[in-house]
Amino acid sequence: MTKLKWGMIGGGEGSQIGPAHRLGALADGHFEFAAGALDHRPDAGRDYAKRLGIAADRAYGDWTEMLAGERGRADRVDLVTVATPNATHFEITKAFLEAGFNVLCEKPMTMTVEEGEEIVRVVKATGRICAVNYCYSAYPMVRQARAMVKAGEMGRIRLIVTNFSHGHHGDAANADNPRVRWRYDPAVAGVSGQFADCGIHALHMASFICNDEVETLSADFASTIASRTLEDDAMVNFRMAGGTVGRLWTSSVAIGRQHGFDIQVFGETGGLRWASEQPNQLMYTPVNGRTQIIEKGESGLHADAQRLSRVSIAHPEGFPLAVANIYCDLADAIRGEVRDGLPRAEDGLRSMAAVHAAVASAKAGGLWTDARPPLFR
Ligand code: NAI
């Protein structure tokens, strides 16, 4: 099988998410790293790309140069990852889709609902793939949870409780660090800080596991560090189309919590619990029964969980391999084999609608607000 060609924009040296994309894209041999515009500083981006083994003529200074360079090549990249800060996602993603490239865009996909709808329209018009990196949904044990719910093993889902709360932006003395500051700067991050940064992973996960969509929500936002205009803590109650009740807490000032992403699913006939800090285990409790630990790599898993487990039971597979699972599903999609679960532009749009609904709700004192994008109402 010939390798697909992969390029990345952003994810430069020292960035948070860049290494996970490189490890993920290259883990299974589906892609070769062929092109990049990796940094907002053109020279630093070119230099880093060359050090990573990209040919000098494909180590670009910025994304417009990359678009111009790649679109004319017979061996142009098959997939472009957009791993820049939020405000640039829409412009870059739209331009590459329109030029006929497949895109994996970091979350949040856009800054506004209208931009999200535009990306969905461009995907339809071009027939290209636009995935969004909700990578936690690609952990094998999360796929197992989704499959168990789909198979009816939990009964109707009554309640979902999820948190994505860490404490890494809790030091007020470090609030001006540029790596932290942009996440609370409306010009770069958008209308929401922590909810758009981490909360949407949890909200996507709730939809993903329940196979259902968030319909309405009520939000309470707080900026606990005075210099921040955007929220660093949010509590969001939501209701799903199928009637499931949802509770979500997200925070970046929860000092003592590390990654802090977990989800509990309470159905009529059982409960599930998954936590990103122990991603290889899924806790399952049947009604009136004992709690069991379902392990990645054990026999009897649902097919999707089995497919995405690489090493045998009890050997940890962590975050970069969850990202790699997104790239595996993307490689299959590019080659024409559609897999269940790959997060798409529609998911990115739903998140954007939820972000804007949460902001409006918080401003209105927690008013219950329609969280669906107008396109899907
Ligand atoms: P970062 O600030 O650590 O790194 C950003 C990188 O992008 C830097 O290398 C910077 O030089 C480069 N860059 C900025 N503007 C650019 C431009 N116009 N062209 C080319 N390169 C440019 O940011 P981080 O944390 O890596 O976040 C990047 C994106 O990834 C954000 O949208 C964020 O929300 C998302 N993210 C997603 C995660 C996930 O779990 N899916 C986890 C962390 C971040």
In a domain, 116, yes or no: yes
239 contacts 106 by C-beta, under 8 angstroms: no
Q: Tens digit of pLDDT for each residue in 264-278?
A: 999 999 999 999 999
Low-confidence ranges of the chain (pLDDT < 50): none
Q: Ligand 1 centre and the CA of 182: distance in Å? A: 10
Q: Which domain holds residue 118?
A: 4-135
* Residue of 8, 16, 65 to mutate, ligand 1, most atoms within 8 A of C-beta: 16
In a domain, 357, yes or no: yes
Q: What three-state secondary structure class fits 268?
A: coil
| Nearest-atom index, ligand 1, CA of 15 | 3
Cα–Cα distance, 308 to 298 (Å, whole number): 12
We report the CATH number of the domain holding residue 172 as 3.30.360.10
Q: Please check whether residues 121 and 155 belong to one and the same domain.
A: no
Q: What is the ipTM of this complex?
A: 0.99
Closest of 274, 216, 219 to residue 241, by C-alpha: 216
Cα 347 from chain centroid? 9
Q: Ligand 1 centre and the CA of 348: distance in Å? A: 17
Residues contacting 29, CB < 8 A, separation 6+: 3
| Nearest-atom index, ligand 1, CA of 86 | 32
Q: Please check whether residues 279 and 356 belong to one and the same domain.
A: yes
Extended beta strands in 136-180, E state: 157-165
Q: Please check whether residues 195 and 159 belong to one and the same domain.
A: yes
- pLDDT confidence of residue 78: 98
Q: Please check whether residues 103 and 141 belong to one and the same domain.
A: no
Q: Tens digit of pLDDT for each residue in 266-314?
A: 999 999 999 999 999 999 999 999 999 999 999 999 999 999 998 999 9
Q: Please check whether residues 205 and 295 belong to one and the same domain.
A: yes
Q: Please check whether residues 208 and 306 belong to one and the same domain.
A: yes
Verify whether ligand 1 is closer than 6 Å to residue 40 (CB atom).
yes
- pLDDT confidence of residue 338: 87
We report the CATH number of the domain holding residue 57 as 3.40.50.720
Strand order in the sheet with 233-240: 292-295, 281-286, 270-275, 261-267, 157-165, 245-251, 233-240, 214-222, 369-370
Closest of 87, 90, 118 to residue 105, by C-alpha: 90
- pLDDT confidence of residue 188: 85
Domain count across the chain: 2
State which of 135, 151, 186 marks the end of a domain: 135
DSSP conformation letters of 298-345:
-TT--HHHHHT--SPTTS---HHHHHHHHHHHHHHHHTT---TT--BH
Q: Please check whether residues 80 and 142 belong to one and the same domain.
A: no
Q: Please check whether residues 295 and 162 belong to one and the same domain.
A: yes
